[in-house]
Structure 1
Amino acid sequence: MTVTTSAPVPVLRDHRIPADGVYEGVRVLDRLPTGAEERPYELFEPVPQARTIGAEIRGVDLSRPLTDALREELNRALLEWKVLFFRGQHLTSAAQRAFARNWGELETNPLLATGDADEVVRFDKAAGATPTFENVWHTDVTFRERPALGAVLQLREVPPFGGDTLWADMAAAYDNLPREVRERVDGAYAVHDYLPGFARFYPAERLAPFQEQFPPVQHPVVRRHPETGRRMLFVNASFTTHIVGMERRESDRLLRLLFQQAHVPEFQVRFRWQRGDVAFWDNRATQHYAVNDYAPHRRVAERVAIAGDRPF
């Protein structure tokens, strides 16, 4: 009788990495909500730029009024791809505002420089200019009770290199959170305030007059998209200060983990601008990051934002 013995199981040395980091590995990358129907587009060609986020729209002239059918298809594309890119549009400021108004009333922002109308925010960046919202992942104006639905950004002047913008899909970010983290944040609320974001580049005397106009507000840590019903992570490093009812150290630790999710490359699309290009993004479903790597050259952009609803 022959007796066989199995080989001993190898013993590995301790190989743990610090907890609460960004998970490195295979991602769940669903572009559409579960059960959503994927239909072809008849009035333009969407060219995907990444797996879940970002499509270049070919065959549309944004300077012309939208028909109801075209507006419906563009809205469907926006919900599907979260950010749409239109090359070489060269819109006047009036045409840019007219396009944005197809999605609702326009909002103003007294904290930022304006163009030729109160609804137009102008980012004119040359050497020595105030950096404003560059080099930070954020969702626009979440310090408002009704954060913007979306925004339409056009580049008026483009540097010879750099100046890209990135967007991150916050539905994908939520989908890939560990189950135990989702259980902690589902149903939780966080406080948003304009001061942390703007204090990065404005002095106290510039910010103090707006404290009554923009008091801190609470939004769900995970919001539902009002049109698709999809769950999305809704905190950002510019405006979210703490999670309601949580001890500060615990809140800070959890928020750092949640903020990091926008940094995952699989959730992102990166756009290299040319003069006259337009980007239209769903501010409810994304974060974005403007890269300031083009000094000493100038970069000029104008943005029109569309008022949104109260997150739920």
Structure 2
Amino acid sequence: MSVLASVLPASIVEEFGDLWESPNRWVFLVGSRPIVGVFLFLIFLFVFYALWLLNLVRLNNPTAMLYVASSLIGGNLTLVTLVISINQVIISRQLGSPGELREDIEKVNEYRQQAFDPDERDVVPVTPSDFLKRLLESIRRQLQRLGGMTSGDGADDLQRDVDEVVAELTDHVDRVVDLSEGRGTGTFDTLSALLTTNYADRIHQMRRLRSAYEDRLSDEEIDAVEEIVSKLQELDVARQYFKTLYIQTELAYVSRVLLYAGVVAELVLVSTLLVLSSSSGTTAPKVLPPIVAPAIAAVGLLPLAVLFSYTLRLAAVTQRTIAITPFTTPEQEDELNL
């Protein structure tokens, strides 16, 4: 890696570093989608050329190549049309009358007012990454406040349980802050930092703590516990909202990239079909050498590689955030699904 770091750009070195540390997480979540798509395209090339070199596939028959090209043309047209239609349905939800838009703005402002303390409301950030950091800092302060309140109670079991919950949540807050600072400021960069925990369990821990020691906690300590629960709920709301923004943005981007890949694939396939159709059976191999056929087949599957790479991450994000507090799912509990 040190040799690569001196030759390749820092962003590429970071990508391969993440791939080396956690291949599963890189492929499904944090890896660059164009790079994942290129990897899949190279796999297509390798498989097709391997089949040809092993003489398992003979490419001297123009009829078979005509059939493959025709099938890929029809399949790509259907694939691109279907994805764009789905995307248009998603984007149409963003359209609304002035009254509906005003109502949405009021609801977002109401959420921003509830998520922070009164003295912080005038300086609430507008970018997802800064908003997340400010909210996490507010949660950390409330955790420290709760820990300080119970430190002089003299009850060993209460102090032990409070310290355990506070330490666990503080570690999580610090980890999410580190993740958000180590990445970019985009919507997905912020969202990916929030996929490392299950807030339903965190809220359940706080409520279980209050239920177990309610008769021994002061009113201020109970209020502190409820404030932490409220902020964790607001954090989960932020995660779900960031997920909505990410999915809408990603689907729009996928549609555009898929159009680019679809045009290239259809151009290559239609050109191949015209060349083969205008040549006789004996001259087709000379017009279109067999060595070119695997590459043409791989290009024909280029839209599938694009769709596969982006759908993997969309599915992983949805799976990790499919339930909102106070509920959870086994998929959200299993870190290996990342």
TM-score bucket (shorter structure)? under 0.3
Greater strand proportion: 1
Q: Normalization by structure 2: what TM-score?
A: 0.25
**Normalized per residue, which structure has more helix?**
2
State the TM-score, normalized to the length of structure 1.
Answer: 0.26
Higher-Rg structure is 2
